[in-house]
């Protein structure tokens, strides 16, 4: 799944973008639609923009049922909506576990 898709024709490859003052202006070469993609993180629940960055572990099974951190990704936490998760991050300063754990495909 692509991170950026044209809202008009759903094209995801033939897109051109220019960064202007922290906002990406995207043009779809297929249909000519243009739109702005703001890079400011925003809470999906309440819309706040003063979010705090944290690290979340990407886990996978390394031996048998043993889970190991394979990588980490940056997530954005809202002071209101993600208060519990933010508190755990600030108290421990270790990568947060993912919301869903890897499962055995068998």
Q: What does the pLDDT look like over 6-37, one tens digit per residue?
A: 888 988 888 998 888 777 899 999 999 998 88
* 89 and 54 co-located in one domain: yes
Total number of domains constituting the chain: 2
pLDDT digits (tens, 9 = 90+) for 65-96: 788 888 999 999 999 999 999 999 999 989 99
Q: Is residue 103 part of a domain?
A: no
Domain with 32, as residue range(s), is 1-39
The span from the CA of 77 to the CA of 86, in Å, is 6
Which are the contacts of 57, defined by CB distance < 8 A and separation ≥ 6? 69, 71, 72, 95, 96, 97, 98
**pTM higher than the cut 0.85:** no
């Amino acid at each position: 799944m692509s991170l950026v898709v044209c809202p008009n024709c759903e094209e995801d490859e033939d897109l051109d973008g220019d960064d202007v003052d922290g906002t990406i202006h995207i043009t779809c070469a297929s249909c000519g639609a243009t739109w702005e993609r703001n890079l400011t993180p925003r809470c999906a629940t309440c819309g706040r923009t003063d979010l705090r960055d944290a690290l979340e572990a990407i886990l996978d099974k390394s031996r048998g049922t043993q889970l190991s951190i394979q990588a980490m990704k940056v997530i954005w936490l809202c002071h209101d909506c993600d208060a519990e998760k933010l508190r755990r991050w600030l108290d421990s300063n270790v990568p947060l576990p993912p919301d869903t754990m890897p499962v055995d495909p068998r």
